[in-house]
Amino acid sequence: MNTSTRVKLLELLAKQLDEMNLSIAQMTLRQFRIPTYEHWDEDNLAYFVSRLEQGADEDIEALAAHFDLLPHSPIREAPVSAVWPQGSFRLFISHVSEKLASIGIIKERLADYGISCFIAQVDIEPTREWQDEIEAAIRSADALAAVLTPNFRSSMWTDQEIGIAIGSGVLVIPIDAGLAPYGFLARYQALVAKEKKAKEVAELLVQVLTRNPATAARMGAVLVGSLEASISWGWSRTLMTLIEQLPELSPELLRRIEAAEEKNKEVKYAHTVPDRIRALNERFSTRK
């Protein structure tokens, strides 16, 4: 980690901890191997700054990942594997074969939103060097979803897939399907899939990807693209609900949303959608 990145992370982390209950903040620091004091005479913010300065780079990065504060570009740039369709959101799904049928349903549902899923057993051509293909797909993914079934750790590949993703700066989303997140995965908040249908899990994944700062920009682009191509009033309303959850929208995407209303009657005549588009423009114009 370079000095500039470390300073920025220390500032963000100190402010984050200062907003927390002091006992919880102290406990959090200790869990990430950052030494604490029991008594401190100055204000809390100064205390957290002094403690964080004692942390090793790897522990500061781990704590920043815990709070989802690691720096990222608006749309993550990486050499893109040929397995990904152009313009889609790229989601690698790490799993074992016991859930392959359900994962197929999730993949089909996510495609409706412009999300392309890479599933190793399905998507790799037998004649290719599949280890290289998997690694290329992970490194160029926008996110990785780990479907944690009870037998997940029995695979010799799943932990390696997660390690490649974390090392490449790819957002990892654990899906608790009978196994709680473990090891490095324990730092990420799990999406609980137990007793949920595959389509419900897909919908939850879309919401997580839409709201997370690490993937929101890419999701914004694909959601707006889906709105431009919407084939029904109901689908336009569904997409607008997701677009409204995005933390940011670029001026270009706002222009495309406005143009979609003019060009696509399924957007223009969808109940509430034109009014919501105007409200969206007003909301983001006030941030300029």
Contact 188, 173 (CB under 8 A): yes
Q: Is 202 helix (H, G, I), strand (E, B) or coil?
A: helix
Max Cα distance, the chain (Å): 66
* Residue 99 pLDDT level (bands cut at 50, 70, 90): low
Supply the pLDDT for residue 75: 44
Q: Given a cut of 60, is residue 124 above it in pLDDT?
A: no
* Nearest to 141, CA basis, from 180, 173, 179: 173
Q: Domain ranges in the chain?
A: 3-66, 89-201, 216-285
Supply the pLDDT for residue 65: 82
Q: What is the dihedral of CA 195, 198, 200, 203, to 10 degrees?
A: 140
CB atoms closer than 10 angstroms to residue 38: 5
CA distances from 133 to 19, 48, 163 (A): 44, 44, 16
Q: Are strands 143-148 and 89-94 parallel, antiparallel or unpaired?
A: parallel
Chain segment 234-257, per-residue pLDDT in tens: 999 999 999 999 988 888 999 999
Q: Where are the alpha helices (DSSP H) in 39-99?
A: 44-52, 57-66
Question: What is the average pLDDT across 153-164?
Answer: 86
Q: Where are the alpha helices (DSSP H) in 112-197?
A: 120-123, 130-139, 158-167
End-to-end CA distance of the chain: 31
CATH of the domain spanning 89-201: 3.40.50.10140
In this structure, what are the phi and psi dihedrals at residue 90, rounded to the nearest 5 degrees? -105, 110
- pTM score > 0.85 for this model? no
